Amino acid sequence: MSLSRKKRRMWALALGLIGLGSATALVMTAFQDNLVFFLAPSEIAAQHPGPERAFRLGGLVEAGSVEKSVNADGRPEARFRVTDGPATVPVTYVGVLPDLFREGQGVVTLGKLGTDGMFRASEVLARHDETYMPPEVAAALKRTGHWEPERGAPPPAGSWNTMSTGGNPAASTGQGG
């Protein structure tokens, strides 16, 4: 038995152990701390986290709440409100917003809640919902008043997921998925 083969096996075993060890470690730490990946506005209202604790706030961007500007340093700044229905938290953020960010979309923001009730975010992540539709279908749903994206989730998928993309809004009804 040559040394190189022994060494190869040793490395393979070490790799396996490292893999197993890190898997277990990840399960222990990441899952324990991050099972609650974000807090909803109503949970924040109930828990009152202190101003020095950084945490994630998650919810929908409230319709009509987004104000974009450029701050004194020339960096983009955004103000908006995050809501889960019963409660709402105002947020300020300096930086570039992700592509999916819009009113009515889910967001997860990392930051601290000031004593003034303002959440100062250092990171804003857009959350995608589980719907995928061509632009024509989204436009048709908006045109016919079936959906206002700023106000939240689209209507049940069965009402639009077989809709023709030829631009005929009448096809939106009565087709199930």
Partner 1 sequence: MGGRPSGGGLHRFANPGRFLRLSARVSPWLWAAAALLLAVGVPWALVFSPPDWQQGETVRIMYVHVPMAWLSMAGYVALAAASATALIWRHPLADLFAREISPVGAAVTALCLATGSLWGRPMWGTWWVWDARLTSVLVLFFLWVGHAALVRAFDDEERGARAGAILAVIGAINVPVVKFSVDFFNTLHQPASVARLGGPSLHVDILYPLLVCAVGFSLLFAALVLTRTRAAVMEKRIRQLQLAQARRQDAVAA
The answer to the question of residue 135 lying near partner 1 (CB under 8 A) is yes
Closest distance of CB 116 from partner 1, Å: 26
The answer to the question of residue 157 lying near partner 1 (CB under 8 A) is yes
Closest distance of CB 173 from partner 1, Å: 15
The answer to the question of residue 123 lying near partner 1 (CB under 8 A) is yes
Cα separation values, 125 from 98, 108, 140, 154, Å: 6, 5, 28, 20
Of the candidates 133, 129, 142, which has an alpha carbon nearest to the alpha carbon of residue 177? 133
C-alpha 65/C-alpha 90 separation (Å) is: 9
The answer to the question of residue 20 lying near partner 1 (CB under 8 A) is yes
Given 66, 94, 118, 139, the residue binding partner 1 (CB under 8 A) = 139
What do you get for the CA distance between the two ends of the chain, in Å? 63
Closest distance of CB 65 from partner 1, Å: 18
123-153 burial, b if ≥16 CB within 10 A, otherwise e? ebbbbeeeeebeeebeebbeeeeebeebebe
Q: CB nearer to partner 1: give 36 or 70.
A: 36
With beta carbons less than 8 A apart as the criterion, state whether 91 and 80 touch: yes
**Contacting range for partner 1; rule: CB under 8 A; set: 11-19, 70-78, 114-122, 166-174:** 11-19
The answer to the question of residue 169 lying near partner 1 (CB under 8 A) is no
Given 45, 94, 118, 125, the residue binding partner 1 (CB under 8 A) = 125
Provide long-range contacts, Cβ within 8 A and 24+ apart, for 7-12. Answer: none
Q: CB nearer to partner 1: give 108 or 113.
A: 108
